[in-house]
Amino acid sequence: MKIIPSIKFFIKDSRAIGALLICCTAISLFASNAVHNNIYSAFWTNKFALPFTLIHFPATLQHLINDLLMSVFFFFAGLEIKREILTGELNTFKKSLMPVISAAGGMLLPAVIYLAWCHNGDNFMGWGIPMATDIAFSLGVLSLLGKRALLSMRIFLTAIAIIDDMGGILTIAVFYAGHLQWIYLLLAAITVVVLLTFNFLKVTYIPLYLFAGIFLWYFIYNSGIHATIAGVMLAFTIPSSRIDTLERILRVPVNFIILPLFALANTAIALPGNVLSIMTSQVYYGIFTGLFLGKPLGIFLATYIAVKTKIADMPSNMTMKQVLGTGILAGIGFTVSIFITALAFTDPVTQTTAKLAVIFASLSSGIAGYCYLRFTRKKKYGT
C-alpha cells in the first residue's frame, strides 16, 4: 500500500523527469552495445507490417515515437508557451521577442563555427547539425535542479528549443529535403485555417480541435516536413480557457511515458571499436564546438545585445549568468541534430562520427550546464 504514495511523490518531484531520462539513456546505450547482433537497436528500427498500404504511416517503433508521440510532446510544450504569451513570462512583445532573438544567435553561431572547421569538401553540408536544441533532454537536465530552476528559465529554454527545432525543421525543408509534397502542404494549410476559424468563432469543444489536429499531423507528416511541428501549430489554436485542463491531463503521460520511450529509442547507438579515432575528424570538432561553445555563446551574445539596445526585455528574475547557464543546456542537441546527420552525409563512417559528436557534445553540455547552474549561486533561485 505504501507503493502508490511513493509513486505519487516521485511523479510530483520536479527532478524525477531528468533522472528518468538519464536512466533510460544509460540503459539504452548499454543495451545497444552489450547485446549481440544489434538486437536492441533492431527492436526500435525494424519495420513492421502495416494492415493497410494506402495510408503512409510510421513503420518502425522509432519513427512512431519520434513522429507521432513527440508531436504530442510538442503539443504539450506549445500549450505552455501559449499560456506564457497570454498571461505569463512572455506576455509583452519585448519579452516574447527575446527568445526569438536568443534562439537566432544560438543557431547562427554554431553554424558559423562548424563552417570554420569544415568549409572545404563535401562535409560542409553538416552545418545544420549543431543548430538544434533537444527540448526533451535539455528540460530534463534543467528539472534536475529542482527549485533552483526558475519558472522563467524553463519557459525561456522551452521557447528557445521550440524555435530552434522549427528553425531546424525549416533548414531540413529548404536545404536537406529531397522534395516537398505540395498537395499535403496545401491540405495542412487548409486544416490550420479550419482550426483558426474554430478559434475565431470561440469554439471550445476540444475533441473537435483534436480531430482536426489528427488530419493536420497526417498532412504535415506526408509533406516532407518533420511532423512534430504539427503539435506546436495545433497548440496555438487551442482556446486559452482550455489550456490548463489539457496541460493537467497531458503532464504525466508526456513526462513519464512519451519522454522515456523517446530516450530509449533514440540512444540505441552502437559505439565503434575505437571511439577515440573519431576525435581526429574535423566533422567531430565542428559539431562538438558548435554545440558546446557556439550554442551558449550565441544565445548569451544575442541576449546581451538585445537587452543593451532595448530591443527586447530580459525574462523575469533572470540574470545574464542564468542566461549563460540556460544557453549551455541548449547545447544538448539530440533528436533533430542526429536526424540531420543522415541527410547531410551519405558516408556511414562520417554519419557515425557526426552522431557521436552530437552525443558527446550533448553529454558535455548537460553536465556543464547542470554544474554551472547548480554551483554559481549558493542561494536557491526559488520557484
> Average pLDDT of 161-170?
78
Residue the block writes with cell 522549427:
166
Q: What is the mean pLDDT of residues 341-356?
A: 83
Burial of 115 (0-12, 13-18, 19+ CB in 10 A): middle
* CATH 1.20.1530.10 given to domain 3-43+60-177+225-375: yes
Count other Cβ atoms within 10 Å, centred on residue 148: 20
Under DSSP, the state recorded for 88 is: S
Average pLDDT over residues 111-138: 88
pLDDT of 18 reads 77
Question: In terms of DSSP H, where are the helices of the chain?
Answer: 3-12, 16-34, 39-45, 61-63, 70-87, 93-117, 135-143, 151-171, 182-200, 206-221, 229-235, 243-253, 259-266, 282-289, 295-308, 320-329, 335-344, 348-375
Where along the chain do its domains lie? 3-43+60-177+225-375
pLDDT at 379: 47
Beta carbons of 314 and 115 less than 8 angstroms apart: no
| pLDDT given for residue 7 in this prediction | 61
Distance CA 292, CA 64 (A): 30
Residue 170 pLDDT level (bands cut at 50, 70, 90): confident
User: 219-248: per-residue pLDDT in tens?
Assistant: 999 988 878 889 989 999 999 999 999 999
